[in-house]
Amino acid sequence: EFATFTEAYTAVLRHLLDHPEYKTAGRGKDALEVPNISFRLTNAIQRTPYLAARRANIAFNYAELLWYVAGRDDITMISYYAPRLAKLSTDGLTLTGTAYGPRLFRPDGPDGLSQFDRCVKALEQDRDSKRAAMIIMRPHEAIGPDNPDVACTLGLQFMLRGGRLHATGYMRGNDAVIGLLCDTFSFTMIQELAARRLGVPVGSYTHHVGSMHINVLDREKVAAILAEADAGPAPRFPAPQMPGLSSAELELLLQWEAVLRAGAGELTGDTVTALPLPHYWQQALLVFQAYQQVQAGHPVTTDIAAALTPAHRWLLAARWPDRIT
Protein backbone atom coordinates (compact mmCIF):
# COMPACT_ATOMS: atom_id res chain seq x y z
CA GLU A 1 0.00 0.00 0.00
CA PHE A 2 1.35 3.41 -1.01
CA ALA A 3 0.39 7.00 -0.32
CA THR A 4 1.36 8.24 -3.78
CA PHE A 5 1.79 6.73 -7.22
CA THR A 6 5.42 7.95 -7.26
CA GLU A 7 6.12 5.50 -4.41
CA ALA A 8 4.16 2.61 -5.94
CA TYR A 9 5.79 3.13 -9.33
CA THR A 10 9.36 3.11 -8.00
CA ALA A 11 8.62 0.08 -5.78
CA VAL A 12 7.29 -1.92 -8.75
CA LEU A 13 10.21 -0.90 -10.98
CA ARG A 14 12.75 -1.76 -8.27
CA HIS A 15 11.17 -5.15 -7.74
CA LEU A 16 11.26 -5.94 -11.47
CA LEU A 17 14.85 -4.83 -11.86
CA ASP A 18 16.19 -6.53 -8.71
CA HIS A 19 14.06 -9.68 -8.60
CA PRO A 20 12.77 -10.59 -12.05
CA GLU A 21 11.28 -14.08 -12.00
CA TYR A 22 11.27 -14.78 -15.73
CA LYS A 23 12.86 -13.60 -18.90
CA THR A 24 10.28 -13.66 -21.68
CA ALA A 25 10.53 -13.05 -25.41
CA GLY A 26 6.86 -12.79 -26.40
CA ARG A 27 6.25 -11.12 -29.78
CA GLY A 28 9.95 -10.53 -30.33
CA LYS A 29 10.49 -8.33 -27.24
CA ASP A 30 12.83 -9.45 -24.49
CA ALA A 31 11.29 -8.62 -21.15
CA LEU A 32 11.84 -9.18 -17.45
CA GLU A 33 8.69 -10.35 -15.76
CA VAL A 34 7.20 -10.79 -12.31
CA PRO A 35 3.80 -12.50 -12.45
CA ASN A 36 0.90 -11.39 -10.26
CA ILE A 37 1.71 -7.99 -8.87
CA SER A 38 -0.80 -5.90 -6.97
CA PHE A 39 -0.62 -2.59 -5.16
CA ARG A 40 -3.01 -0.14 -3.62
CA LEU A 41 -2.90 3.65 -3.66
CA THR A 42 -4.57 4.94 -0.52
CA ASN A 43 -5.63 8.08 -2.35
CA ALA A 44 -6.32 7.62 -6.05
CA ILE A 45 -5.88 11.35 -6.72
CA GLN A 46 -2.12 11.04 -6.03
CA ARG A 47 -1.79 9.61 -9.54
CA THR A 48 1.07 11.61 -11.03
CA PRO A 49 4.69 10.53 -10.55
CA TYR A 50 7.17 13.39 -10.34
CA LEU A 51 10.26 11.63 -11.67
CA ALA A 52 12.08 13.65 -14.31
CA ALA A 53 13.92 10.61 -15.71
CA ARG A 54 10.57 9.05 -16.63
CA ARG A 55 9.89 11.96 -19.00
CA ALA A 56 6.14 11.41 -18.76
CA ASN A 57 3.91 13.09 -21.33
CA ILE A 58 1.12 14.80 -19.40
CA ALA A 59 -0.48 16.00 -22.66
CA PHE A 60 -0.89 12.36 -23.68
CA ASN A 61 -2.38 11.49 -20.28
CA TYR A 62 -5.13 14.12 -20.60
CA ALA A 63 -5.70 13.34 -24.27
CA GLU A 64 -6.03 9.62 -23.63
CA LEU A 65 -8.57 10.22 -20.86
CA LEU A 66 -10.71 12.49 -23.07
CA TRP A 67 -10.37 10.05 -25.96
CA TYR A 68 -11.65 7.27 -23.68
CA VAL A 69 -14.51 9.27 -22.19
CA ALA A 70 -15.64 10.38 -25.65
CA GLY A 71 -15.80 6.70 -26.67
CA ARG A 72 -13.36 7.28 -29.53
CA ASP A 73 -11.10 4.82 -31.33
CA ASP A 74 -9.54 7.02 -34.06
CA ILE A 75 -5.76 7.10 -34.30
CA THR A 76 -5.80 10.68 -35.65
CA MET A 77 -6.29 12.23 -32.23
CA ILE A 78 -4.33 9.84 -30.05
CA SER A 79 -1.28 9.26 -32.27
CA TYR A 80 -0.63 13.01 -32.30
CA TYR A 81 0.22 12.65 -28.60
CA ALA A 82 1.79 9.17 -28.88
CA PRO A 83 3.05 8.48 -32.41
CA ARG A 84 4.02 4.88 -31.52
CA LEU A 85 0.31 4.00 -31.20
CA ALA A 86 -0.17 4.39 -34.96
CA LYS A 87 1.85 1.20 -35.44
CA LEU A 88 -0.75 -0.76 -33.51
CA SER A 89 -3.52 0.03 -35.98
CA THR A 90 -4.36 -2.67 -38.51
CA ASP A 91 -6.58 -0.49 -40.72
CA GLY A 92 -4.59 2.73 -40.39
CA LEU A 93 -7.63 4.52 -38.95
CA THR A 94 -8.65 2.97 -35.65
CA LEU A 95 -7.29 1.13 -32.65
CA THR A 96 -9.14 -1.95 -31.56
CA GLY A 97 -7.54 -3.26 -28.35
CA THR A 98 -6.10 -0.03 -26.94
CA ALA A 99 -9.29 1.97 -27.48
CA TYR A 100 -11.09 1.32 -24.20
CA GLY A 101 -13.48 4.22 -24.80
CA PRO A 102 -15.97 2.44 -27.05
CA ARG A 103 -16.11 -0.47 -24.58
CA LEU A 104 -16.59 1.71 -21.49
CA PHE A 105 -18.37 4.85 -22.62
CA ARG A 106 -20.48 3.98 -25.67
CA PRO A 107 -24.05 2.82 -25.08
CA ASP A 108 -23.93 -0.92 -25.69
CA GLY A 109 -27.18 -2.47 -24.49
CA PRO A 110 -30.95 -2.32 -24.81
CA ASP A 111 -31.04 0.07 -21.83
CA GLY A 112 -29.22 2.67 -23.96
CA LEU A 113 -26.47 2.96 -21.33
CA SER A 114 -22.71 2.53 -21.49
CA GLN A 115 -20.95 0.18 -19.07
CA PHE A 116 -19.79 3.27 -17.16
CA ASP A 117 -23.32 4.70 -16.87
CA ARG A 118 -24.66 1.30 -15.87
CA CYS A 119 -22.10 1.04 -13.05
CA VAL A 120 -22.90 4.51 -11.75
CA LYS A 121 -26.61 3.65 -11.83
CA ALA A 122 -26.00 0.32 -10.07
CA LEU A 123 -24.24 2.16 -7.24
CA GLU A 124 -27.00 4.77 -7.03
CA GLN A 125 -29.54 1.98 -6.64
CA ASP A 126 -27.49 -0.20 -4.29
CA ARG A 127 -24.59 1.55 -2.62
CA ASP A 128 -23.06 -1.75 -1.45
CA SER A 129 -23.23 -3.30 -4.93
CA LYS A 130 -20.50 -5.76 -5.95
CA ARG A 131 -21.69 -5.58 -9.56
CA ALA A 132 -20.27 -2.23 -10.69
CA ALA A 133 -17.71 -3.89 -12.96
CA MET A 134 -16.84 -3.02 -16.55
CA ILE A 135 -15.33 -5.59 -18.90
CA ILE A 136 -12.68 -4.45 -21.37
CA MET A 137 -10.93 -7.42 -23.06
CA ARG A 138 -13.54 -9.36 -24.98
CA PRO A 139 -14.08 -13.13 -25.07
CA HIS A 140 -13.92 -13.15 -28.88
CA GLU A 141 -10.95 -10.81 -29.19
CA ALA A 142 -8.41 -12.21 -31.70
CA ILE A 143 -5.35 -13.08 -29.63
CA GLY A 144 -3.22 -14.58 -32.39
CA PRO A 145 0.23 -13.16 -33.11
CA ASP A 146 -1.02 -11.30 -36.19
CA ASN A 147 -3.21 -8.99 -34.11
CA PRO A 148 -0.93 -6.15 -32.97
CA ASP A 149 -3.47 -4.62 -30.59
CA VAL A 150 -5.19 -6.76 -27.97
CA ALA A 151 -6.67 -5.02 -24.90
CA CYS A 152 -4.32 -5.38 -21.92
CA THR A 153 -7.00 -4.54 -19.39
CA LEU A 154 -9.51 -7.17 -18.39
CA GLY A 155 -11.78 -4.87 -16.49
CA LEU A 156 -12.37 -2.13 -13.95
CA GLN A 157 -14.52 -2.27 -10.85
CA PHE A 158 -15.99 0.39 -8.59
CA MET A 159 -16.85 -0.23 -4.96
CA LEU A 160 -18.57 2.36 -2.78
CA ARG A 161 -17.36 1.53 0.72
CA GLY A 162 -17.06 3.66 3.84
CA GLY A 163 -18.63 6.55 1.92
CA ARG A 164 -15.82 6.68 -0.65
CA LEU A 165 -15.57 5.37 -4.19
CA HIS A 166 -12.77 2.81 -4.52
CA ALA A 167 -11.71 1.29 -7.82
CA THR A 168 -9.79 -1.76 -8.97
CA GLY A 169 -8.05 -2.33 -12.30
CA TYR A 170 -7.42 -5.88 -13.54
CA MET A 171 -4.86 -6.30 -16.29
CA ARG A 172 -3.57 -9.39 -18.08
CA GLY A 173 -0.30 -7.65 -18.91
CA ASN A 174 1.26 -4.29 -18.09
CA ASP A 175 4.49 -2.63 -19.11
CA ALA A 176 5.72 -1.29 -15.76
CA VAL A 177 7.59 1.65 -17.30
CA ILE A 178 5.14 3.03 -19.83
CA GLY A 179 1.73 1.40 -19.55
CA LEU A 180 1.58 1.33 -15.77
CA LEU A 181 1.85 5.10 -15.53
CA CYS A 182 -0.66 5.88 -18.29
CA ASP A 183 -3.14 3.23 -17.21
CA THR A 184 -3.09 4.27 -13.55
CA PHE A 185 -3.62 7.86 -14.65
CA SER A 186 -6.65 7.19 -16.81
CA PHE A 187 -8.24 4.54 -14.59
CA THR A 188 -8.07 6.76 -11.51
CA MET A 189 -9.48 9.66 -13.57
CA ILE A 190 -12.38 7.43 -14.65
CA GLN A 191 -12.80 6.55 -10.97
CA GLU A 192 -12.87 10.24 -10.08
CA LEU A 193 -15.48 10.93 -12.78
CA ALA A 194 -17.69 8.22 -11.28
CA ALA A 195 -17.13 9.62 -7.77
CA ARG A 196 -18.28 13.08 -8.89
CA ARG A 197 -21.36 11.60 -10.55
CA LEU A 198 -22.16 9.82 -7.29
CA GLY A 199 -21.30 12.88 -5.22
CA VAL A 200 -18.84 11.01 -2.98
CA PRO A 201 -15.12 11.45 -2.34
CA VAL A 202 -12.56 9.32 -4.15
CA GLY A 203 -11.10 6.44 -2.16
CA SER A 204 -8.29 4.03 -2.91
CA TYR A 205 -7.23 2.56 -6.24
CA THR A 206 -5.99 -1.05 -6.46
CA HIS A 207 -4.10 -2.41 -9.45
CA HIS A 208 -3.80 -6.16 -10.17
CA VAL A 209 -1.59 -7.36 -13.02
CA GLY A 210 -1.08 -10.90 -14.33
CA SER A 211 2.15 -10.23 -16.19
CA MET A 212 4.02 -7.17 -14.92
CA HIS A 213 7.13 -6.65 -17.02
CA ILE A 214 9.75 -4.24 -18.28
CA ASN A 215 11.38 -4.46 -21.67
CA VAL A 216 15.06 -5.31 -21.43
CA LEU A 217 15.71 -2.27 -23.64
CA ASP A 218 14.23 -0.03 -20.94
CA ARG A 219 16.55 -1.29 -18.21
CA GLU A 220 18.81 1.78 -18.26
CA LYS A 221 15.86 4.14 -18.15
CA VAL A 222 14.51 2.25 -15.14
CA ALA A 223 17.90 2.47 -13.44
CA ALA A 224 17.90 6.26 -14.03
CA ILE A 225 14.39 6.60 -12.59
CA LEU A 226 15.40 4.63 -9.49
CA ALA A 227 18.64 6.60 -9.07
CA GLU A 228 16.57 9.79 -9.11
CA ALA A 229 14.18 8.36 -6.51
CA ASP A 230 17.15 7.34 -4.33
CA ALA A 231 18.72 10.78 -4.58
CA GLY A 232 15.90 12.41 -2.65
CA PRO A 233 12.14 12.66 -2.31
CA ALA A 234 10.19 13.59 -5.44
CA PRO A 235 8.72 17.09 -5.47
CA ARG A 236 5.20 17.20 -4.07
CA PHE A 237 2.57 19.28 -5.78
CA PRO A 238 -1.03 19.64 -4.66
CA ALA A 239 -3.35 17.19 -6.44
CA PRO A 240 -6.47 19.18 -7.27
CA GLN A 241 -9.87 17.50 -7.27
CA MET A 242 -11.42 17.01 -10.65
CA PRO A 243 -14.67 19.01 -10.75
CA GLY A 244 -16.52 16.45 -12.90
CA LEU A 245 -17.08 16.68 -16.64
CA SER A 246 -20.46 17.42 -18.21
CA SER A 247 -21.12 16.38 -21.80
CA ALA A 248 -21.13 20.06 -22.86
CA GLU A 249 -17.72 20.52 -21.22
CA LEU A 250 -16.38 17.36 -22.86
CA GLU A 251 -17.66 18.61 -26.23
CA LEU A 252 -15.95 21.98 -25.79
CA LEU A 253 -12.69 20.35 -24.65
CA LEU A 254 -12.67 18.08 -27.69
CA GLN A 255 -13.45 20.99 -30.02
CA TRP A 256 -10.54 22.99 -28.66
CA GLU A 257 -8.27 19.96 -28.61
CA ALA A 258 -8.90 19.53 -32.36
CA VAL A 259 -8.36 23.23 -33.07
CA LEU A 260 -5.06 23.28 -31.17
CA ARG A 261 -3.89 20.01 -32.73
CA ALA A 262 -4.56 21.40 -36.22
CA GLY A 263 -2.83 24.67 -35.35
CA ALA A 264 -6.10 26.35 -36.43
CA GLY A 265 -6.30 28.58 -33.39
CA GLU A 266 -4.52 29.32 -30.16
CA LEU A 267 -5.28 29.96 -26.55
CA THR A 268 -3.56 32.36 -24.20
CA GLY A 269 -3.49 32.46 -20.43
CA ASP A 270 -6.20 35.13 -20.76
CA THR A 271 -8.52 33.76 -23.44
CA VAL A 272 -8.65 30.31 -21.85
CA THR A 273 -10.28 31.83 -18.76
CA ALA A 274 -13.17 33.07 -20.92
CA LEU A 275 -14.15 29.50 -21.84
CA PRO A 276 -17.08 28.09 -19.86
CA LEU A 277 -14.89 25.41 -18.27
CA PRO A 278 -13.66 24.88 -14.74
CA HIS A 279 -10.06 25.89 -14.08
CA TYR A 280 -9.12 22.19 -13.92
CA TRP A 281 -10.09 21.57 -17.57
CA GLN A 282 -8.75 24.94 -18.71
CA GLN A 283 -5.42 23.61 -17.46
CA ALA A 284 -5.75 20.55 -19.70
CA LEU A 285 -6.24 22.86 -22.69
CA LEU A 286 -3.18 24.90 -21.69
CA VAL A 287 -1.20 21.65 -21.56
CA PHE A 288 -2.44 20.85 -25.10
CA GLN A 289 -1.49 24.37 -26.21
CA ALA A 290 2.01 23.95 -24.77
CA TYR A 291 2.28 20.54 -26.46
CA GLN A 292 1.29 22.10 -29.80
CA GLN A 293 4.03 24.71 -29.46
CA VAL A 294 6.58 21.98 -28.73
CA GLN A 295 5.35 19.89 -31.68
CA ALA A 296 5.65 22.91 -33.97
CA GLY A 297 9.30 23.18 -32.93
CA HIS A 298 8.89 26.24 -30.71
CA PRO A 299 9.50 26.90 -27.05
CA VAL A 300 6.43 27.13 -24.83
CA THR A 301 5.53 30.83 -24.72
CA THR A 302 6.11 32.59 -21.41
CA ASP A 303 2.41 33.47 -21.33
CA ILE A 304 1.38 29.79 -21.43
CA ALA A 305 4.15 28.72 -19.06
CA ALA A 306 3.01 31.36 -16.56
CA ALA A 307 -0.63 30.26 -16.81
CA LEU A 308 0.15 26.59 -16.15
CA THR A 309 0.10 25.22 -12.60
CA PRO A 310 3.55 24.53 -11.10
CA ALA A 311 2.86 20.78 -11.40
CA HIS A 312 2.09 21.02 -15.13
CA ARG A 313 5.08 23.29 -15.70
CA TRP A 314 7.32 20.82 -13.86
CA LEU A 315 6.04 17.86 -15.92
CA LEU A 316 6.47 19.65 -19.25
CA ALA A 317 9.97 20.82 -18.26
CA ALA A 318 10.93 17.26 -17.29
CA ARG A 319 9.83 16.04 -20.71
CA TRP A 320 11.06 18.98 -22.83
CA PRO A 321 13.77 20.69 -20.77
CA ASP A 322 14.92 22.84 -23.69
CA ARG A 323 11.41 24.14 -24.45
CA ILE A 324 10.13 25.48 -21.17
CA THR A 325 11.70 27.08 -18.15
Chain residues binding ligand 5HM by CB under 6 A are 26-27, 97-98, 150-153, 173-175, 179, 183
Q: Which secondary-structure segment (H or E) carries 153?
A: strand 153-161
Nearer to ligand 5HM by C-beta: 16 or 229?
16
Nearer CB in complex with ligand 5HM: 212/308: 212
Closer Cβ to ligand 5HM, 169 or 283, answer by number: 169
Contacting residues for 26 by C-beta, under 8 A, at least 6 apart: none
Sign of torsion over alpha carbons 187, 102, 174, 314: negative
> Residue 322 Cβ, how far from ligand 5HM at the closest point, in Å?
29
58 versus 272: smaller Cβ distance to ligand 5HM: 58
In the complex, minimum distance from the CB of residue 179 to ligand 5HM, in angstroms, rounded to a whole number: 2
Length of the chain: 325
Looking at beta carbons only, is 175 or 192 nearer to ligand 5HM? 175
d(CA 117, CA 227): 43
Q: Nearest approach, Cβ of 55 to ligand 5HM (angstroms)?
A: 17
CB of 188 to ligand 5HM, least distance (A): 14
Question: 202-215 and 164-175: which strand pairing?
Answer: parallel
Residue 304: CB minimum distance to ligand 5HM, A: 29
Q: Is 214 helix (H, G, I), strand (E, B) or coil?
A: strand
Residue 43 and residue 203: Cα distance in Å, rounded? Answer: 6
* Cβ 193 vs Cβ 244: under 8 Å: yes
| Residue least distant from ligand 5HM (Cβ) | 179
- Select 181 or 307, whichever has its Cβ closest to ligand 5HM: 181
Integer Cα distance of 223 and 130 in angstroms: 40
CB of 220 to ligand 5HM, least distance (A): 18
Quick one: 117 or 183, whose CB is closer to ligand 5HM?
A: 183
How far is 33 from 23, CA to CA, in rounded Å? 6
Separation of alpha carbons 59 and 285, rounded Å:
9
Is residue 65 within 8 A of residue 186, CB to CB? The reply is: yes
CB of 61 to ligand 5HM, least distance (A): 12
CB of 41 closer than 8 Å to CB of 225 = no
